[in-house]
Structure 1
Amino acid sequence: MTSGNDFDPEREPPELFSALLTPHRSLNSTGFLVLMGFLSTVSFAAGLAFLLMGAWPVLGFFGLDVLAIYWAFRINFRHARATEEISVTLYELRVRRVSHRGHVAEYVLNPLWVQLDQKSHAEFGIEKLYLVSKGRRISIASFLGPDEKASFAKALTAALQAARRGPTYNPVSQCL
Protein backbone atom coordinates (compact mmCIF):
# COMPACT_ATOMS: atom_id res chain seq x y z
CA MET A 1 0.00 0.00 0.00
CA THR A 2 1.38 3.37 -0.95
CA SER A 3 0.19 6.87 -0.45
CA GLY A 4 0.49 9.86 -2.73
CA ASN A 5 3.28 9.71 -5.28
CA ASP A 6 5.17 6.77 -3.76
CA PHE A 7 6.50 4.21 -6.21
CA ASP A 8 4.96 0.75 -5.95
CA PRO A 9 7.15 -1.80 -7.82
CA GLU A 10 4.58 -4.59 -7.50
CA ARG A 11 1.87 -2.66 -9.30
CA GLU A 12 1.56 -3.47 -12.99
CA PRO A 13 1.96 -0.53 -15.38
CA PRO A 14 -1.26 0.42 -17.15
CA GLU A 15 -1.79 -1.00 -20.61
CA LEU A 16 -1.94 1.85 -23.12
CA PHE A 17 -2.85 -0.26 -26.14
CA SER A 18 -3.83 -3.85 -26.76
CA ALA A 19 -4.94 -5.52 -29.99
CA LEU A 20 -5.55 -9.13 -30.98
CA LEU A 21 -5.41 -9.50 -34.76
CA THR A 22 -6.78 -12.54 -36.57
CA PRO A 23 -7.21 -13.27 -40.28
CA HIS A 24 -10.66 -12.52 -41.66
CA ARG A 25 -12.61 -15.46 -43.03
CA SER A 26 -15.98 -14.71 -44.60
CA LEU A 27 -17.24 -18.31 -44.52
CA ASN A 28 -18.05 -19.83 -41.13
CA SER A 29 -18.39 -23.56 -40.42
CA THR A 30 -22.15 -23.60 -41.09
CA GLY A 31 -21.67 -21.89 -44.44
CA PHE A 32 -18.90 -24.36 -45.24
CA LEU A 33 -21.19 -27.33 -44.55
CA VAL A 34 -23.97 -25.83 -46.70
CA LEU A 35 -21.54 -25.11 -49.55
CA MET A 36 -20.02 -28.60 -49.42
CA GLY A 37 -23.48 -30.17 -49.32
CA PHE A 38 -24.54 -28.15 -52.37
CA LEU A 39 -21.35 -28.98 -54.29
CA SER A 40 -21.62 -32.67 -53.41
CA THR A 41 -25.25 -32.82 -54.56
CA VAL A 42 -24.57 -31.03 -57.85
CA SER A 43 -21.45 -33.09 -58.55
CA PHE A 44 -23.20 -36.36 -57.75
CA ALA A 45 -26.18 -35.46 -59.96
CA ALA A 46 -23.93 -34.44 -62.86
CA GLY A 47 -21.76 -37.53 -62.38
CA LEU A 48 -24.84 -39.76 -62.28
CA ALA A 49 -26.02 -38.24 -65.57
CA PHE A 50 -22.67 -39.06 -67.17
CA LEU A 51 -22.77 -42.55 -65.66
CA LEU A 52 -26.18 -43.19 -67.28
CA MET A 53 -24.77 -42.00 -70.64
CA GLY A 54 -21.98 -44.56 -70.33
CA ALA A 55 -19.10 -42.24 -69.33
CA TRP A 56 -18.59 -43.87 -65.93
CA PRO A 57 -15.06 -42.42 -65.24
CA VAL A 58 -16.52 -38.89 -65.11
CA LEU A 59 -18.31 -39.73 -61.84
CA GLY A 60 -14.93 -40.29 -60.17
CA PHE A 61 -13.55 -36.99 -61.46
CA PHE A 62 -16.54 -35.12 -60.06
CA GLY A 63 -15.80 -36.78 -56.71
CA LEU A 64 -12.15 -35.69 -56.95
CA ASP A 65 -13.26 -32.10 -57.60
CA VAL A 66 -15.37 -32.06 -54.44
CA LEU A 67 -12.49 -33.62 -52.48
CA ALA A 68 -10.05 -30.97 -53.78
CA ILE A 69 -12.41 -28.13 -52.82
CA TYR A 70 -12.89 -29.67 -49.36
CA TRP A 71 -9.11 -29.96 -48.91
CA ALA A 72 -8.55 -26.32 -50.00
CA PHE A 73 -11.13 -25.05 -47.50
CA ARG A 74 -9.64 -27.11 -44.67
CA ILE A 75 -6.22 -25.56 -45.34
CA ASN A 76 -7.84 -22.11 -45.42
CA PHE A 77 -9.54 -22.72 -42.06
CA ARG A 78 -6.28 -24.01 -40.57
CA HIS A 79 -4.49 -20.80 -41.60
CA ALA A 80 -7.25 -18.80 -39.87
CA ARG A 81 -5.92 -20.02 -36.51
CA ALA A 82 -2.97 -17.61 -36.75
CA THR A 83 -3.02 -14.62 -34.38
CA GLU A 84 -0.98 -11.55 -33.63
CA GLU A 85 -1.22 -9.79 -30.26
CA ILE A 86 0.27 -6.33 -29.82
CA SER A 87 0.31 -4.52 -26.48
CA VAL A 88 1.93 -1.30 -25.32
CA THR A 89 2.66 -0.33 -21.72
CA LEU A 90 4.80 2.52 -20.43
CA TYR A 91 7.86 0.29 -20.40
CA GLU A 92 7.49 -2.19 -23.26
CA LEU A 93 5.89 -2.92 -26.59
CA ARG A 94 5.16 -6.61 -26.90
CA VAL A 95 4.37 -8.42 -30.16
CA ARG A 96 3.28 -12.04 -29.81
CA ARG A 97 2.72 -13.89 -33.06
CA VAL A 98 1.24 -17.40 -33.19
CA SER A 99 1.38 -19.15 -36.56
CA HIS A 100 -1.34 -21.45 -37.85
CA ARG A 101 0.86 -24.38 -36.79
CA GLY A 102 1.10 -23.09 -33.22
CA HIS A 103 4.66 -21.73 -33.41
CA VAL A 104 5.06 -18.70 -31.15
CA ALA A 105 7.37 -15.76 -31.83
CA GLU A 106 7.52 -13.00 -29.26
CA TYR A 107 9.25 -9.64 -29.52
CA VAL A 108 9.67 -7.20 -26.64
CA LEU A 109 10.75 -3.67 -27.59
CA ASN A 110 11.26 -0.42 -25.73
CA PRO A 111 8.45 1.95 -26.80
CA LEU A 112 10.77 4.95 -26.44
CA TRP A 113 12.92 3.73 -29.34
CA VAL A 114 10.31 2.16 -31.61
CA GLN A 115 9.29 3.87 -34.83
CA LEU A 116 6.22 2.84 -36.82
CA ASP A 117 7.13 2.66 -40.51
CA GLN A 118 4.64 2.12 -43.30
CA LYS A 119 4.88 1.21 -46.95
CA SER A 120 2.10 2.94 -48.87
CA HIS A 121 0.80 2.79 -52.41
CA ALA A 122 -0.86 5.86 -53.91
CA GLU A 123 -3.84 3.89 -55.22
CA PHE A 124 -4.27 1.15 -52.60
CA GLY A 125 -3.23 2.86 -49.35
CA ILE A 126 -1.08 1.28 -46.66
CA GLU A 127 0.36 -2.04 -47.80
CA LYS A 128 2.77 -2.90 -44.96
CA LEU A 129 3.36 -1.77 -41.37
CA TYR A 130 6.70 -2.23 -39.63
CA LEU A 131 8.02 -1.66 -36.14
CA VAL A 132 11.61 -0.43 -36.42
CA SER A 133 13.97 -0.53 -33.45
CA LYS A 134 17.74 -0.87 -33.27
CA GLY A 135 18.03 -1.68 -36.97
CA ARG A 136 15.45 -4.48 -36.79
CA ARG A 137 12.18 -4.37 -38.76
CA ILE A 138 9.22 -6.40 -37.60
CA SER A 139 6.26 -6.65 -39.95
CA ILE A 140 2.92 -6.30 -38.13
CA ALA A 141 -0.80 -6.28 -38.95
CA SER A 142 -0.42 -8.26 -42.17
CA PHE A 143 -3.96 -9.66 -41.68
CA LEU A 144 -5.58 -6.24 -42.04
CA GLY A 145 -6.78 -4.41 -45.12
CA PRO A 146 -5.48 -0.94 -46.10
CA ASP A 147 -8.18 1.04 -44.26
CA GLU A 148 -7.89 -1.13 -41.16
CA LYS A 149 -4.09 -0.72 -41.25
CA ALA A 150 -4.48 3.07 -41.34
CA SER A 151 -6.78 3.00 -38.31
CA PHE A 152 -4.50 0.56 -36.49
CA ALA A 153 -1.41 2.68 -37.25
CA LYS A 154 -3.14 5.78 -35.89
CA ALA A 155 -4.09 4.04 -32.62
CA LEU A 156 -0.65 2.45 -32.20
CA THR A 157 1.09 5.78 -32.87
CA ALA A 158 -1.06 7.45 -30.20
CA ALA A 159 -0.13 4.70 -27.71
CA LEU A 160 3.58 5.04 -28.51
CA GLN A 161 3.36 8.81 -28.00
CA ALA A 162 1.62 8.27 -24.66
CA ALA A 163 4.41 5.87 -23.63
CA ARG A 164 7.03 8.47 -24.61
CA ARG A 165 5.29 11.10 -22.46
CA GLY A 166 5.65 8.75 -19.50
CA PRO A 167 3.47 8.18 -16.48
CA THR A 168 1.19 10.94 -15.34
CA TYR A 169 -0.17 11.49 -11.88
CA ASN A 170 -3.93 11.56 -11.62
CA PRO A 171 -5.07 12.20 -8.05
CA VAL A 172 -8.61 11.02 -8.82
CA SER A 173 -7.56 7.55 -9.99
CA GLN A 174 -5.02 7.27 -7.16
CA CYS A 175 -7.73 7.68 -4.52
CA LEU A 176 -10.00 4.95 -5.92
Structure 2
Amino acid sequence: MAVSKATFEDEADRFEKPVFSAVIRPHRSLSPRGFRILMALVCLVSVAASLPFVFMGFWPIAGFFGLDFLGLYIAFRVSYRQGLAFEQLELTPIRLLLRKVSDRGEAREWQFNPLWTRLDREVDDEFGLQKLALISRNQHVVIARDLSPEERETFADTFGRALSDVKRGY
Protein backbone atom coordinates (compact mmCIF):
# COMPACT_ATOMS: atom_id res chain seq x y z
CA MET A 1 0.00 0.00 0.00
CA ALA A 2 1.57 3.25 -1.10
CA VAL A 3 0.67 6.32 0.91
CA SER A 4 2.16 9.55 -0.29
CA LYS A 5 3.96 12.04 1.90
CA ALA A 6 1.44 14.69 0.84
CA THR A 7 -1.37 12.74 2.52
CA PHE A 8 0.40 12.86 5.89
CA GLU A 9 1.16 16.57 5.45
CA ASP A 10 -2.48 17.28 4.60
CA GLU A 11 -3.58 15.38 7.70
CA ALA A 12 -1.08 17.29 9.87
CA ASP A 13 -2.25 20.61 8.42
CA ARG A 14 -5.85 19.66 9.22
CA PHE A 15 -4.97 19.25 12.91
CA GLU A 16 -3.08 22.56 13.06
CA LYS A 17 -5.68 24.62 11.20
CA PRO A 18 -7.73 26.80 13.61
CA VAL A 19 -11.36 25.81 14.00
CA PHE A 20 -12.10 28.90 16.08
CA SER A 21 -10.10 32.05 16.65
CA ALA A 22 -11.02 35.19 18.56
CA VAL A 23 -9.36 38.30 19.93
CA ILE A 24 -11.16 40.06 22.79
CA ARG A 25 -10.31 43.68 23.49
CA PRO A 26 -11.81 46.09 26.04
CA HIS A 27 -14.44 48.37 24.51
CA ARG A 28 -13.62 52.06 24.29
CA SER A 29 -16.63 54.11 23.21
CA LEU A 30 -14.72 57.38 22.78
CA SER A 31 -12.45 57.58 19.74
CA PRO A 32 -9.13 59.49 19.92
CA ARG A 33 -10.72 62.29 17.87
CA GLY A 34 -13.68 62.38 20.26
CA PHE A 35 -11.23 62.49 23.18
CA ARG A 36 -9.51 65.58 21.72
CA ILE A 37 -12.85 67.30 21.14
CA LEU A 38 -14.07 66.47 24.65
CA MET A 39 -10.86 67.72 26.26
CA ALA A 40 -11.01 70.96 24.21
CA LEU A 41 -14.61 71.53 25.34
CA VAL A 42 -13.78 70.80 29.00
CA CYS A 43 -10.82 73.18 28.77
CA LEU A 44 -12.99 75.94 27.27
CA VAL A 45 -15.69 75.48 29.91
CA SER A 46 -13.07 75.45 32.70
CA VAL A 47 -11.48 78.66 31.43
CA ALA A 48 -14.87 80.35 30.93
CA ALA A 49 -16.07 79.32 34.40
CA SER A 50 -12.85 80.36 36.14
CA LEU A 51 -12.44 83.80 34.49
CA PRO A 52 -15.10 85.56 36.62
CA PHE A 53 -13.40 84.28 39.78
CA VAL A 54 -10.00 85.51 38.55
CA PHE A 55 -11.45 88.99 37.86
CA MET A 56 -12.98 89.08 41.34
CA GLY A 57 -9.59 88.27 42.85
CA PHE A 58 -10.28 84.64 43.70
CA TRP A 59 -7.56 83.35 41.39
CA PRO A 60 -6.89 80.07 43.30
CA ILE A 61 -10.26 78.79 42.06
CA ALA A 62 -8.85 78.77 38.51
CA GLY A 63 -6.24 76.30 39.73
CA PHE A 64 -8.95 73.96 40.98
CA PHE A 65 -10.58 74.05 37.54
CA GLY A 66 -7.17 73.18 36.12
CA LEU A 67 -6.87 70.25 38.54
CA ASP A 68 -10.27 68.96 37.40
CA PHE A 69 -9.12 69.15 33.79
CA LEU A 70 -5.84 67.40 34.62
CA GLY A 71 -7.63 64.66 36.58
CA LEU A 72 -10.03 64.01 33.72
CA TYR A 73 -7.15 63.91 31.23
CA ILE A 74 -5.18 61.42 33.35
CA ALA A 75 -8.26 59.20 33.84
CA PHE A 76 -8.85 59.00 30.09
CA ARG A 77 -5.17 58.30 29.37
CA VAL A 78 -5.19 55.44 31.90
CA SER A 79 -8.39 54.09 30.33
CA TYR A 80 -6.88 54.19 26.84
CA ARG A 81 -3.73 52.52 28.13
CA GLN A 82 -5.80 49.69 29.65
CA GLY A 83 -7.54 49.37 26.28
CA LEU A 84 -4.30 47.96 24.85
CA ALA A 85 -4.82 44.68 26.72
CA PHE A 86 -6.37 41.73 24.89
CA GLU A 87 -7.16 38.02 25.06
CA GLN A 88 -6.56 35.69 22.15
CA LEU A 89 -8.15 32.26 21.83
CA GLU A 90 -7.22 29.77 19.14
CA LEU A 91 -8.86 26.37 18.95
CA THR A 92 -7.49 23.58 16.75
CA PRO A 93 -8.49 19.91 16.84
CA ILE A 94 -5.49 19.11 19.06
CA ARG A 95 -4.93 22.28 21.08
CA LEU A 96 -6.68 25.23 22.70
CA LEU A 97 -4.37 28.19 23.16
CA LEU A 98 -5.33 31.10 25.41
CA ARG A 99 -3.05 34.11 25.41
CA LYS A 100 -3.66 37.12 27.66
CA VAL A 101 -1.61 40.26 27.02
CA SER A 102 -1.70 43.07 29.58
CA ASP A 103 -1.64 46.77 28.76
CA ARG A 104 2.09 46.72 29.51
CA GLY A 105 2.68 44.02 26.90
CA GLU A 106 3.22 41.20 29.42
CA ALA A 107 1.88 37.97 27.95
CA ARG A 108 0.65 34.82 29.69
CA GLU A 109 -0.26 31.66 27.82
CA TRP A 110 -2.25 28.57 28.66
CA GLN A 111 -2.55 25.46 26.51
CA PHE A 112 -5.38 23.02 26.94
CA ASN A 113 -6.33 19.74 25.35
CA PRO A 114 -9.76 20.49 23.81
CA LEU A 115 -11.01 17.01 24.65
CA TRP A 116 -10.46 17.63 28.38
CA THR A 117 -11.60 21.26 28.44
CA ARG A 118 -15.03 22.51 29.34
CA LEU A 119 -16.58 25.96 29.37
CA ASP A 120 -17.94 26.96 32.78
CA ARG A 121 -20.65 29.63 32.94
CA GLU A 122 -21.74 31.60 35.98
CA VAL A 123 -25.17 33.05 35.24
CA ASP A 124 -27.10 35.54 37.36
CA ASP A 125 -30.87 35.48 36.76
CA GLU A 126 -31.09 39.26 36.80
CA PHE A 127 -27.83 40.30 35.13
CA GLY A 128 -27.06 37.48 32.70
CA LEU A 129 -23.76 35.69 32.14
CA GLN A 130 -21.35 37.11 34.71
CA LYS A 131 -18.34 34.84 34.39
CA LEU A 132 -16.95 32.53 31.75
CA ALA A 133 -14.05 30.19 32.46
CA LEU A 134 -12.05 27.42 30.83
CA ILE A 135 -11.64 24.39 33.09
CA SER A 136 -9.30 21.53 32.32
CA ARG A 137 -8.06 19.14 34.97
CA ASN A 138 -6.57 21.41 37.67
CA GLN A 139 -6.60 24.63 35.63
CA HIS A 140 -9.33 27.26 35.90
CA VAL A 141 -8.90 30.40 33.79
CA VAL A 142 -11.49 33.19 33.49
CA ILE A 143 -11.96 34.49 29.95
CA ALA A 144 -13.91 37.26 28.19
CA ARG A 145 -13.91 39.58 31.21
CA ASP A 146 -14.01 42.64 28.96
CA LEU A 147 -17.27 41.70 27.26
CA SER A 148 -20.73 42.77 28.39
CA PRO A 149 -23.03 39.98 29.68
CA GLU A 150 -24.89 39.88 26.34
CA GLU A 151 -21.66 39.76 24.32
CA ARG A 152 -20.25 37.16 26.71
CA GLU A 153 -23.36 35.00 26.17
CA THR A 154 -23.00 35.21 22.37
CA PHE A 155 -19.30 34.46 22.61
CA ALA A 156 -19.92 31.51 24.96
CA ASP A 157 -22.50 30.02 22.58
CA THR A 158 -20.23 30.35 19.54
CA PHE A 159 -17.10 29.13 21.30
CA GLY A 160 -19.03 26.33 23.03
CA ARG A 161 -20.30 25.06 19.66
CA ALA A 162 -16.76 25.11 18.22
CA LEU A 163 -15.43 23.24 21.27
CA SER A 164 -18.22 20.65 20.96
CA ASP A 165 -17.48 20.22 17.25
CA VAL A 166 -13.82 19.54 18.02
CA LYS A 167 -14.77 17.00 20.69
CA ARG A 168 -17.04 15.21 18.20
CA GLY A 169 -14.28 15.18 15.61
CA TYR A 170 -16.09 17.75 13.45
TM-score (norm 2): 0.92
Task: Decide which structure has greater helix share.
Answer: 2
The 5 Å alignment of 1:72-83 reads 72-83=75-86
Alignment partners' CA distance in 1, 2:54 and 2:107: 50
Structure 1 residue runs of 5 or longer lacking an equivalent are: 168-176
1:159 aligns with 2:144: no
State percent identity of aligned pairs. 42
SS of 1:96's partner is strand
1:66 aligns with 2:66: no
1:7 aligns with 2:8: yes
Equivalent pairs counted in the alignment come to: 166
Matched residue, 1:87: 90
Query: How far does the alpha carbon of each residue in 1:90-142 deviate from its partner, in whole angstroms, 9 at most, with x for none?
Result: 00000011001111001110000001001110001100000000121100000
User: Residue 159 of structure 2 aligns to which amino acid in structure 1?
Assistant: L
Alignment partners' CA distance in 1, 2:13 and 2:94: 13
Matched residue, 2:134: 131
Matched residue, 1:118: 121
Alignment partners' CA distance in 2, 1:87 and 1:138: 15
RMSD of aligned Cα (Å) = 1.8
How far 1:166 moved relative to its partner? 2.2
How far 1:10 moved relative to its partner? 5.4
Alignment partners' CA distance in 1, 2:83 and 2:21: 20
User: Residue 87 of structure 1 aligns to which amino acid in structure 2?
Assistant: E
How far 1:11 moved relative to its partner? 2.7
Counterpart pick for 1:20 among 11, 18, 23 = 23
User: Residue 8 of structure 2 aligns to which amino acid in structure 1?
Assistant: F
User: Residue 65 of structure 1 aligns to which amino acid in structure 2?
Assistant: D
1:51 aligns with 2:62: no
List structure 1 segments (4+ residues) > 6 angstroms apart after TM superposition.
Answer: none
SS of 2:97's partner is strand
SS of 1:6's partner is helix
Matched residue, 2:109: 106
SS of 1:42's partner is helix
Alignment partners' CA distance in 1, 2:71 and 2:169: 55
Query: How far does the alpha carbon of each residue in 1:136-176 deviate from its partner, in whole angstroms, 9 at most, with x for none?
Result: 11000001111111111111111111111226xxxxxxxxx
